[in-house]
Each structure stands twice: as structure tokens, then as C-alpha cells.
Structure 1
Amino acid sequence: MESNETSRKPSARAKIGTLISNEIGRIPPQSVDLEQVVLGAMMLERNAVNETIDILHEASFYDPKHQYIFKAILDLFAATSPVDLVTVTERLAKNGELAAAGGAGYVSQLTNRVASSAHIQYHARIISERYIKRELIRISSEIIRDAYDDTKDVFDLLNQAESGLFQIAENNMTKQVNTMSKVVKDAIEEIEKARSNSDGVSGIPSGFVELDKITSGWQRSDMIVIAARPGMGKTAFVLST
């Protein structure tokens, strides 16, 4: 029975979003109607899952019910199982999350909201943009709150703001799929370019000669970590490269 099912508690991030809404008296950016349409399309056409899987993630959905449903769809997709109304409902029930997802009736209604999945990528991007705005509001609210706290170190606040914004960008970067022939062609071009470079810098020059001798410049897809105590000039160093 649905009434006996247990459900996950809302994520900490969802709780923060509710607090933000209460604090500023405004509803955070969201589009519940589009969330319903996208989820309905994903249960009707497997291709719709392929087109949105790199755009959306669980937290992208504002309505907690939709987070449960999206997670069930992803679980089925990852297991290469059929994704449809029946399998999604069964997966939610198996996870003890059907009641939290609105019940079987609500899940069924989502498929009735879909006339066509032709514009699903466009709809998914709108959902993603609304989520990014909510995250910006959340981080800004946390920074404002902490900035009023005299016990907080100002450089720690700067690092907190920087890392928060970086995390948003990192989690919402559009993934691009390239063919093997293009990857090989690009790699050969990079090798030829590095071979013909007389100064030994195969990447992007940092502007510091000694550093370039060690690293051969900033390399593409390298994760560069600049570590130092607060106030030692990390930001100034990065801005000067």
C-alpha cells in the first residue's frame, strides 16, 4: 500500500531553497508545468531521455515529487531497462518512494501532459536555467548572511563565493559528444602544433617564464589548483596569467 511506503527526506539544498523563499517572500525561479511535460515525454519516448540526460539532474527539478520520478527514470536508463509509465511506477514502489512522488495516479497524469516531445531539449534547458538561478540565489543568500557575521574571515567568504559559483558552472556545463575521427584529427593537430613550437610551450603561456618551463604552459583539460593561505595573492596571480 502507498500509505505504508517510506520516502526520502528532501535534500538539504531543497530545504535551503524553501528557507530562501520564506526569507525574501518570493517564489524561487521554477517551471513546474515544464517539469511535468519533460518527465511525461521521458516516459513515452526513450529518445527523450537521451536528449535530456546531459542537461538535467535530480536537483534541477523544483517540485520534490519530480525529483523522485526523474531519479527512477535515470536508474532504469542506467540499467538499460525499458523506461515507461509501468516501469517507472514499479521502480518508485520498489524504492519506497511512490507516495513521495505523488502516487501512481500522479505519475500516470504526467504522460497525459505531453502532446509531442519535439521541443524537449528546449524545455529541459529552461528547467536547467531556472535551477541555476535558484542556486545563484541560494549562494548569494548564504554569502550575505555570513558577511554580516563578524567572526567570518573575509578571505574565507571570498573563497566560499568563488567555489560556489565555480561549482554551479561545473555542474551545468553542456557536454559535447565528438566522433572518434574528429578526436583523432584534433589530437594530431595539437601534436603538430606542439612539435613546431620552438619555445617549448605546448599550452597557453602563463606569462611567467620559469613556470612555463616547468608546465609547458596551461594544458587543455588540466585542473590547475592554486593553493595558498588567505591573503597571499591567489586571485591576483590568476588574473595576471
Structure 2
Amino acid sequence: MPESYFIERDPALDGLKTPPNSIHAEQSVLGSLIIDNSAWDAVADKLSEGDFYLRSHKLIFRAISQLAEQQIPFDIITLSESLKSLGDLDAVGGLSYLIVLSKDTPCATNVDAYAN
């Protein structure tokens, strides 16, 4: 049975306008980075965790950034271990969501377009 993911609604934010965002683009950026670490060079100076709309994506990007700074490869295993050590693995949807990100990304070479 496929797992489902949901986003908790915060009633305090109901009156606020939603900033421009594309969840699919965010997923594709993160998936691109997971499947091809060299994609980091294309987005490192362009994106920060604040550019991501979903909290889970901010946490994943932060963990990838930290691994990149330490020159540690960020594949599904190292990324999940990093998120686990930070106490964020469950908050991002667990290992299964990281797998979804990598499997559902069409092409890592398009990371620059996804980042824009």
C-alpha cells in the first residue's frame, strides 16, 4: 500500500497570501541533488533553505548543504543518516520520502531549470 504524505494546516496562516512556489520544482531540485551530487555546483550559489516553501524541503536542503560543506557525498543513505542525527528524518517523511524524491526526479541535468 503506497504511503501518503500530508501537510499540516496552520490556521494562523489562513489570511496570508501564499508566496510563489512549485512543490514539484522543489522536489526535482532535491531529487537531482540526491541522484547527482555534481548538481550542487549549479545551485549552491543560487538557492538557500529559505527558498523552499515546504518545511520538510527546507530541512532536506539544509542537511544536503551541511554534507556538501563537509565534502561528504549526499545520497539517500548519507542524507537519511544526517537527517536522523539531526532529529529531522521523521519530519521530512522518512527514508521513504527521500527515495520518492530520487525516483520521481525526471533528470538531474535540469536542476538549474528546476531551481529557477
TM-score by length of 1: 0.42
* TM-superposition CA deviations, 1:7-38 (whole Å, max 9, x none): xxxxxxxx8xx73xx215x5331100110011
Who is 1:33 aligned against? 24
- Structure 2 SS opposite 1:23: coil
| Separation in structure 2 between the aligned mates of residue 50 and residue 77 of structure 1, nearest angstrom | 10
The alpha carbon displacement at 1:107 in A equals 1.3
The answer to whether the 8 Å contact 2:89/2:95 transfers is yes
Structure 2 residue runs of 5 or longer lacking an equivalent are: 1-9
1:23 aligns with 2:11: no
User: Which structure is richer in relative contact order (CA contacts within 8 A, separation 6 or more)?
Assistant: 2
The CA distance in 1 between the partners of 2:90 and 2:27, in whole Å, is: 17
Tell me by how many angstroms 1:82 deviates: 1.0
Provide the C-alpha distance between the structure 2 equivalents of 1:109 and 1:117, rounded to a whole number of angstroms.
14
User: Residue in 2 aligned with 1:73?
Assistant: 64
Alignment match of 1:99 (pick from 80, 90, 98) = 90
Unaligned runs of 5+ in 1: 1-14, 126-241
Q: Which has the larger radius of gyration?
A: 1
Per-residue deviation, residues 108-142 of structure 1 (Å, max 9, x unmatched): 110011221222112102xxxxxxxxxxxxxxxxx
Q: Which residue of 1 aligns with 2:80?
A: 89
- What do residues 42-88 of structure 1 show as CA deviations (whole Å, max 9, x unaligned)? 01111111111111101100011001100110111000011111100
User: Matches of 1:109 and 1:100 in 2, distance apart?
Assistant: 15
Please say if 1:118 is aligned against 2:103: no
The DSSP-based 3-state class of the residue aligned with 2:60 is: helix
> TM-score, structure 2 length as denominator?
0.84
Q: Which amino acid aligns with 2:60?
A: I
RMSD: 1.6
Contact 2:63 2:79 in 1 (8 A): yes
State the AA in 2 paired with 1:124.
A
| Structure 2 equivalent of residue 166 of structure 1 | none
CA distance in 1, matches of 2:85, 2:91: 13
Q: Distance in 1 between matches of 2:99 and 2:59?
A: 14
Which amino acid in the other structure matches residue 57 of structure 2? H
Letter in 2 for 1:69: I
